[in-house]
């Protein structure tokens, strides 16, 4: 077909993808083409604007390496990661809610013993003890579940962003005991700005948005026969809970960090008093 109108062009392109053998891929591509063409028509996109967008996406891809994931950061900043989480990773009734994984996840972080700290440096800061149980939706404890955690250090950076930190600082894998209990030792997380020295920083600057995430600890909780849970534990006192730059806060994931001054409790957990304490359970949904 030649001399097509704006809408005929879309129909022709969609038709050209009709022979895609995989039905799901065909659906995803044809729907994407329609949405993108609608956008171009509605915005009356100019060739200069489209070229700027292509250059922006090119810079975003070029910024990626094994430690920097600017594409995930872009997806997070456009709210796409949070939306994909909402449409595809919803927690069944009663299970702990999920949220985005973010660009700072590193697989295969070290195994940590019961109550061992993930902070790999000396500090005068009070410890934070995170403890609770991993249970199923009926409340039954899940022994030998895996709990993988990661968080920023008090300078607001993850180990992979900051060469002054030890490798695997503030990351690790714990396991629950026979009663489904876990004991994690760390420090209280702080709010932190996402990296702004790349294309996503340009986007934030151009749109007058702040780069802050509310303080949180990331967790991935796994157990055979259960859906893997990718979640955060947010700090109820944080100033950025209502304006998270990546739109990932869910009310049910906000937790209170309590101060504990008991020398006896501190000795029990192998920390100094006073220390912070966060009690929380992770509730896993059964595998579909």
Please state the closest distance from residue 194 (CB atom) to ligand BEZ, in A.
4
CB closer to ligand BEZ, 142 vs 278: 278
Cβ nearer to ligand BEZ, comparing 29 with 64: 64
Closest among 256, 264, 282, 284 to 128, alpha carbons compared: 256
> What residues contact 115, with CB distance under 8 A and at least 6 apart?
129, 183, 184, 185, 269, 270
First-to-last C-alpha distance (Å) of the chain:
47
Of 183 and 219, CB closest to ligand BEZ: 219
User: Given the complex with ligand BEZ, which of 215 and 283 has the nearer CB atom?
Assistant: 215
Smallest distance from the beta carbon of 75 to ligand BEZ, in angstroms? 9
Closer of 95 and 101 to ligand BEZ (Cβ)? 101
In sequence order, the 6+-apart residues with CB closer than 8 A to the CB of 122 are: none
Q: Which residues pair with 260 in a beta bridge?
A: 275
> What is the smallest separation between the CB atom of 74 and ligand BEZ, expressed in angstroms?
10
CB of 216 to ligand BEZ, least distance (A): 6
Minimum CB separation from ligand BEZ for residue 189, in Å?
A: 10
The contact set with ligand BEZ (CB under 6 A) reads 73, 76, 100, 102-104, 194, 213, 246
Contacts by residues 198-206 (CB-CB < 8 Å, ≥ 24 positions apart): 198/59, 198/60, 198/63, 198/68, 198/70, 198/73, 199/56, 199/59, 199/60, 199/63, 199/70, 199/74, 200/60, 200/70, 200/73, 200/74, 200/77, 202/56, 203/56, 203/74, 203/77, 204/77, 204/245
Shortest distance in whole angstroms from residue 104 CB to ligand BEZ: 4
Task: Report the C-alpha gap between 69 and 73 in whole angstroms.
Answer: 6
**Closer by beta carbon to ligand BEZ, 76 or else 136:** 76
Give me the residue whose beta carbon is nearest to ligand BEZ.
102
């Amino acid at each position: 077909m030649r001399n097509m109108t704006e809408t005929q062009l879309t129909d022709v392109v969609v038709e050209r993808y009709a022979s895609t053998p995989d039905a799901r891929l065909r659906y995803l591509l044809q729907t994407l083409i329609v949405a993108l063409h609608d956008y171009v028509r509605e915005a009356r996109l100019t060739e200069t604007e489209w070229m700027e967008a292509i250059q922006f996406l090119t810079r975003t891809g070029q910024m990626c390496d094994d430690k920097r994931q600017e594409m995930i950061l872009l997806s997070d900043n456009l709210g796409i990661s949070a939306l994909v989480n909402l449409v595809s990773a919803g927690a069944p009734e009663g299970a702990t809610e999920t949220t985005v994984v973010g660009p700072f996840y590193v697989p295969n972080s070290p195994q940590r013993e019961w109550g061992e700290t993930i902070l790999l440096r000396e500090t005068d800061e009070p410890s934070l003890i995170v403890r609770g149980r991993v249970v199923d939706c009926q409340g039954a404890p899940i022994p030998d579940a895996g709990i993988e955690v990661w968080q920023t250090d008090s300078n607001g950076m993850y180990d992979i962003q900051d060469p002054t930190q030890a490798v695997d600082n503030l990351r690790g894998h714990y396991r629950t005991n026979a009663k489904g209990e876990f004991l994690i030792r760390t420090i209280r997380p702080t709010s932190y700005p996402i990296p702004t020295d790349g294309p996503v920083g340009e986007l934030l600057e151009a749109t007058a948005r702040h780069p802050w995430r509310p303080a949180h600890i990331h967790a991935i909780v796994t157990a055979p026969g259960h859906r893997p849970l990718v979640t955060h534990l947010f700090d109820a006192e944080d100033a950025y809970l209502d304006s998270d730059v990546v739109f990932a806060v869910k009310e049910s994931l906000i937790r209170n960090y309590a101060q504990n001054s008991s020398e006896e409790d501190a000795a029990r957990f192998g920390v100094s008093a006073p220390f912070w304490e966060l009690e929380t359970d992770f509730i896993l949904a059964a595998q579909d």
